[in-house]
Structure 1
Amino acid sequence: MSITEQQVSDIVNLTIDQTITLNGFSFRSPPLTLSGEGSTLRVGESLSALGVHKAFIVADAVVAELGLLDSTRRSLHRSGISYSIFDDIVAEPTAGLVQRCKDQLKTCGADAVIGIGGGSALDTAKAVALLIDSNASIADLAAGAQAERKVRLVAIPTTAGTGSEVTDITVIMEDDHRHKYVIKSAHLMPDLAILDAHLMIGVPPAVTAATGIDALTHAIEAYLSSQRNPISEAMAFASIQMIVRALPIAVGNGSNQKARSDMALAAYKAGLAFSNAGLGLVHAMSHQIGARYRIPHGVANAILLPEVMNFNALVCRSELANIARAMGVARDNMTEREQASAAIGATAELVKDVGLPDSLAKFDVKPEDLNVLADDALADICLVTNPRHASSADIVAIYQACLEKQ
């Protein structure tokens, strides 16, 4: 069969078009972000402009007790938006808790979900907003099932760490507390993110430290990601610069408004970076030990981050050298290898400076569990964008190194 001149032309044009788009990328972010002290007072007018009539507030129990919902409630009231509150959120929300929250949302009939609190509250709010109009379960979504969010979604963080307010990801614990569901969907991106550092003033030093290192991990893993792009790189680099400067101050003097504001923006930038570029081996591993041994997510990241950076250095030494520049520890007389080592060393020092552990020896991690943990980490979605291929033996070796530190 002969090929016509038009068919040849079509094939050539298709090849050229596909080659051109290989260098492209997409970048997702919330349609609107409000930032600044007191910005929660604008949530009512913002939702009213979107046609919202009733809101469903999902909040940490502690956040409710501290009165951190007051400004949001006043704003909703002034805009004539009624609301219901679900404030039973605890650390590491389970699929069962999400189901209870979803049932209450269905009963109240709200057309907007507002998550207020740490990562647990925001992740729960995002999950129920996606599930409310779907027959899918959390397990279904984690396995790749599709769902479309129809209600509006607002995310208001009270800690500077998870970046959940600007990501298309949610993480929910299985009911057996042994594994975590990691769900990624464009419909998990909030319609509105609000950064009000005033809500973060009372966060205790230990929580400030853990959430801050979580944000640093997001930024570093996004910067090293195999799917990074120019915008995610810029966001990650800027986030690292802000965190190394502001986190020690926020931990040591939690009433410092400038440090709190900088950390809120840094976590936001890191969230934008990893939501669009992906994460890596630190998160793939921390999800496993966090679920199995109840190690707080930021603490698990803090322990693993320097070791994983050292493992990844084989394939991304120049990127680590750039991270050293962002951290202010690179010198002109250093080789690229020395700059990369400086970045890893500065990361380990920052973890110690803010009072977080650098060893798994303090936790009930059993050596006989390491092979299972490694296999589970290999199946974690976060591993897909790690810059270096990791085998089960590699992961076991990293866990073992973190166990042997004293």
Structure 2
Amino acid sequence: MSANDIATVVNQTITQYLSESGEQQKKRPCSGKSFTFRSPAITVTGAYCVSQLGDTLLELGATHVLLVADKLVHQLGLVSGCEQSITLAGIGLTLFTEVEGEPDTVIINQGIKVLKQSKADFVVGIGGGSALDAAKGMAVMIDHQGPLADLKIGGIASRKVGLGCIPTTAGTGSETTDITVIQDLEYGIKVPVKGPALVPDFALLDPVLMLGVPDHVTAATGIDTLTHAIEAYVSRETNPLSKAYAYHAIETVIKSLPVAVGCGDDLDMRYEMSIAAYKAGIAFSNAGLGLTHAIAHQIGAQYHIPHGVANAILLPYVMAFNALTCEKGYAELAVAMGIKVESMTQRESCNAVIQMVRSLVQDLGLPNSLTVYNINTGDLPQLAERAMLDICLIGNPRQVTATQIVVLLNRVLANDFPEGYC
């Protein structure tokens, strides 16, 4: 067969495919194996790599940077290395250090005003997930007019300014993801803003910036990383690349998180956790999450429970619930967690993984029940209904009803962990 003959066959096949309906296309071989995968164009890692920030920005064509930071991170002096690197590179710099707590429409609008006044062509966020989400929101919403709620999921495909993220905790994965969550104070809701433009142009992972993170924060953010990876691994939207990232993130968390919590000045473990958070972020950004996050968002917002803590409490219960449909997926994670599976059945491996997660949460000193947060049982139906509307539920491997969520939350409140699948 000549090259021209091959080209003719290929073109005819593509033309035929494009002329078919969506249902016809789905029936074609490999039609269910296509996916889109996104990640930062540049990733800089290693101890003291913050010194490379200026060079990275020059490589990306930046001339003036708006540096967005948590107020506490700035007060602790963790931003100074970034400032020095940017200045030494001859790049203009404007600081915005007003981020406190989760970003909302007020702080985003304040940042956008400063961004416009400074005429910066690049936004860099440094800090925890809140600072990174705020920076991402400013970068993509500078040209948006009207209520935040008008933005549709997946509707922001481009931005006019550059975007970079430098995490100071190993947990949220915001430095890799295509989503930010902004509280709309006018309407009293959290709005997930999602789209290709939310993926940063670069991520810089410097474990030195994480050395001062308290042990309880290290534990909570680390379990957030684990939750991202586990939910992404068994998500309905998972794909071969996201599964690979998720698997290796889980492997790292199990080995490194206990040491990072117990010995916070271990730079190697801080480095390992920064990479794990990055991998888990890429995994869930491309595969989605599940029921743990769908519920955690609701109870966290209403009862001011730290996100990582909410995930730590919920994750084992949700895994026991989801195991009905993803026993094989959980069982595959046993080796990543260091569990000896030679004589185990698939179900036994699955149960061992769930118990491993529950034991890790307890070992790290995180709560395993919602009892300490004085949850009003009368709120459970409303919390369940809100969880049913959460975007994260799309990826959950098992179909769920609001009634089932209420039952699950009652179990968590009673610290009634199921003997088997529920």
> Which TM class, normalised by the smaller chain length?
over 0.9
| Equivalent position amino acid for 1:267 in 2 | A
1:104 deviation in Å? 1.9
State which of 294, 297, 308 in structure 1 corresponds to 2:307: 297
TM-score by length of 2: 0.91
In structure 2, the residue matched to 1:360 is 370
In structure 2, the residue matched to 1:202 is 212
| Equivalent position amino acid for 2:246 in 1 | A
Q: Which shifted more, 242-251 or 359-368?
A: 359-368
Check the 8 A contact 2:156/2:194 in 1, yes or no.
no
In structure 2, the residue matched to 1:81 is 91
CA distance in 2, matches of 1:344, 1:43: 40
Map 1:144-155; keep pairs closer than 5 Å.
145-146=155-156, 148-155=158-165
Q: Does 1:254 align with 2:264?
A: yes
| Equivalent position amino acid for 1:53 in 2 | T
1:145 deviation in Å? 4.7
Residues 176 and 327 of structure 1: is their aligned pair in 2 closer, same or farther, counting only changes over 3 Å? Answer: farther
Residues 176 and 284 of structure 1: is their aligned pair in 2 closer, same or farther, counting only changes over 3 Å? Answer: farther
CA distance in 1, matches of 2:356, 2:217: 21
1:330 deviation in Å? 4.0
1:176 deviation in Å? 7.3
Residues 168 and 187 of structure 1: is their aligned pair in 2 closer, same or farther, counting only changes over 3 Å? Answer: same
CA distance in 2, matches of 1:156, 1:393: 40
CA distance in 2, matches of 1:8, 1:250: 54
CA distance in 1, matches of 2:156, 2:274: 31
Map 1:92-241; keep pairs closer than 5 Å.
92-141=102-151, 145-146=155-156, 148-175=158-185, 179-241=189-251
In structure 1, the residue matched to 2:67 is 57
In structure 1, the residue matched to 2:8 is none
In structure 2, the residue matched to 1:371 is 381
State which of 97, 101, 107 in structure 2 corresponds to 1:91: 101
Check the 8 A contact 1:133/1:148 in 2, yes or no.
no
Residues 70 and 12 of structure 1: is their aligned pair in 2 closer, same or farther, counting only changes over 3 Å? Answer: closer
Cα deviation code 1:154-176 (max 9, x no counterpart) = 10000000000011011223427
CA distance in 2, matches of 1:366, 1:162: 28
TM-score by length of 1: 0.94
CA distance in 2, matches of 1:42, 1:199: 14
CA distance in 2, matches of 1:9, 1:34: 39
Residues 227 and 254 of structure 1: is their aligned pair in 2 closer, same or farther, counting only changes over 3 Å? Answer: same
1:139 deviation in Å? 2.0
CA distance in 2, matches of 1:195, 1:347: 26
Check the 8 A contact 2:331/2:350 in 1, yes or no.
yes
1:364 deviation in Å? 2.8
CA distance in 1, matches of 2:120, 2:251: 40
| Equivalent position amino acid for 1:276 in 2 | N
| Equivalent position amino acid for 1:281 in 2 | L
| Equivalent position amino acid for 1:221 in 2 | E
Residues 288 and 13 of structure 1: is their aligned pair in 2 closer, same or farther, counting only changes over 3 Å? Answer: closer
CA distance in 2, matches of 1:145, 1:320: 33
Structure 2 runs not aligned, ≥5 long: 1-11, 417-422
Check the 8 A contact 2:155/2:194 in 1, yes or no.
no
CA distance in 2, matches of 1:147, 1:329: 42
Q: Tell me, what secondary structure is at the counterpart of 2:265? A: coil
State which of 302, 309, 313 in structure 1 corresponds to 2:323: 313
| Equivalent position amino acid for 1:396 in 2 | V
CA distance in 2, matches of 1:285, 1:364: 16
In structure 2, the residue matched to 1:4 is none
Check the 8 A contact 1:167/1:275 in 2, yes or no.
yes
Cα deviation code 1:201-245 (max 9, x no counterpart) = 000001100100000000000001011011111100000000011
| Equivalent position amino acid for 1:382 in 2 | C
CA distance in 1, matches of 2:86, 2:15: 56
Check the 8 A contact 2:155/2:195 in 1, yes or no.
no
State which of 327, 350, 354 in structure 2 corresponds to 1:344: 354
Over aligned residues, Cα RMSD in angstroms? 2.0
Q: Does 1:38 align with 2:38?
A: no
CA distance in 1, matches of 2:112, 2:241: 35
State which of 32, 38, 60 in structure 2 corresponds to 1:22: 32
